[in-house]
Amino acid sequence: MKRLKHTLIIIITLAVISSCTEDYDLINVEGAPEYCIDAFITTNSNYNSIRISKIVKGFNTDELNSGLEILPENIAVKNAKVYLRYNNKSIEFTITEPNHNNKYVGYGYYATAETIEIKENTKYTLEVSINDKTFTAENRLIKGPESMTAKLKKTKLEIQKDMAYVPHVSFTDPDKNNINYYITHMSDNQFDSYQMTVGSSRNWAISILTDKYLQHNIVDLKFPFGTSPTGTSWYPSHKADVTVTLFSVDKMTYDYYSVLINQMKNNGGAYSQSPGSPITNIKGEAIGYFVLADVTQTIAKANS
């Protein structure tokens, strides 16, 4: 009996040499895009930024993450020629050095001192030349809500079960006859909000919103905190002013961000949907997007 038990244990144990995982690095694909162009032009010049970087060929995140630099130098593209053209006007953007006192926290930013007029019914064309390659993109402005109000409400978070101060907003959609699309951003620091970068190590402060299933007069809508792979919410736990911003965009831009958000939650395995890159409006085998947005912003005051 003892021998049988011993034999059985060995057999069961051998069965445990079962499914296992191994790390693997990215597959080298010939002809894949090399550059990412992140162009964000809005009616609030504080948010205007164009950042150009290289695509990394591996999962080595050390290449992408060097200390406080949101975009490290080794992947920044510094020699691009960047122009924004509209109404026969051509505005040049030039490379700018990182400056921790403003939104240019990191390498690869291109900036301009000129004023950009963002208007409806105007076509805006972005042109980026890197070495012998040229990339272009076009976009038009979608008008957003005239104004927005916000107040903080103390709410118990669903997953963490902690209390947090959640901004609730009210505004009226600009177009009652069509669906309106927004990118949202939330920050407990107005200065930091201009960077539109990482909300925390655990979430991306950007989310998306559409009024497809909402009324046009929106009252007390819980403002999205951003996106997290785990679905957990990261609203501020202490009472402080919170800047909430709506960027009104077209459907194609909304879809671009929607796919990025889905990608954060999709591991691409046998039990997941086929992953894919979002459809860009940049022509010429680069990834990224040229966003043109109308900004509606307010601050949910701590004493509201």
Partner 1 sequence: MRRVIICLSLVIFSINIMAQNYNDIIIKLQKNEYTIKDLFKQIEKQSSYRFAYADPATTLKQSVMLEKKQYSLKDLLDEVMPQIKYKYRISGKTITLKRLKKVKISGIITDASTGETLIGATVYIRDLMVGTTTNAYGYYTLIAYEGNYTAEVSYIGYKKISKLISLKNDIRADYNLEFSSISISEVLVTAKKENDNVVNNTLGKQSITTDYLNTFAGFGGEPDVLKTMQSLSGVNATIPGTTQISVHGGSFDQNLVLLDEAPVYNPSHTLGFFSVFNPDVFKTSDIYKSYIPANYGGRLSSVIDIRTKDGNKEKIGVNGGIGLLSSKLTVEGPIGNNTTFVVAGRYSYVGTILNFMEENMSSLFKGLNELSNNSEINFYDFNVKLNHRIDNNNRLYFSAYRGKDHFYYTDIDDQSAMDWGNTTGTLRWNKIFSNNLFLNTSLIFSNYAYSYILKDDSQSFNWEADLKEYDVKMDFDYTAFANHSIKFGLETNIHNIKPGKITPRSESSNAIVKSLDRKSANTLAIYLNDEFIINDKLSANAGIRVSAINSGEGDNNKTYYNAEPRLSIRYMLTETASVKASYTRTTQYMHLMSNSSLGLPTDIWLPSDNIIKPQRASNYSFGIYKNFNKNMFMLSAEGYYKNMDNIIDFIDNSNLFMNEDIHTQILTGKGKAYGVDISFKKLRGKTSYQISYSYSKTLRTIPGINGGKEYAASFDRPHNIKVAVTQQLFKKFKASLNFSYSSGGLYTVPSGMYLYKGISFLNYTERNGYRAPDFHSLDLLLSYEKKHKRFTSEFRLGIYNVYGRKNIFTLMIKPDNYNVNKMTGKKMYLFSTVPTFTYSFKF
Task: Please check whether residue 139 is in contact with residue 292, taking contact to mean a CB–CB distance below 8 angstroms.
Answer: yes
Distance CA 252, CA 59 (A): 29
**105 three-state secondary structure:** coil
The residues, any chain, with a CB within 8 Å of residue 167's CB and separated by 6 or more, are 150, 151, 152, 153, 186, 222, 223, 235, 242, 244, 300
Which residue(s) pair with 300 in the sheet? 242
Task: Please check whether residue 69 is in contact with residue 101, taking contact to mean a CB–CB distance below 8 angstroms.
Answer: no
Given the complex with partner 1, which of 122 and 230 has the nearer CB atom? 230
Smallest separation (angstroms) from partner 1 to the CB of 119:
25
Looking only at the bridges linking them, the beta strands covering 109-111 and 282-283 are unpaired
Residue 246 backbone dihedrals phi, psi, to 5 degrees: -110, 130
Given the complex with partner 1, which of 72 and 86 has the nearer CB atom? 72
Smallest separation (angstroms) from partner 1 to the CB of 229:
5
Smallest separation (angstroms) from partner 1 to the CB of 114:
24
Smallest separation (angstroms) from partner 1 to the CB of 128:
15
Smallest separation (angstroms) from partner 1 to the CB of 231:
9
Given the complex with partner 1, which of 217 and 268 has the nearer CB atom? 268
Tokens of 151: 């107040």
Task: Please check whether residue 223 is in contact with residue 186, taking contact to mean a CB–CB distance below 8 angstroms.
Answer: yes
Given the complex with partner 1, which of 30 and 146 has the nearer CB atom? 30
Given the complex with partner 1, which of 144 and 226 has the nearer CB atom? 226
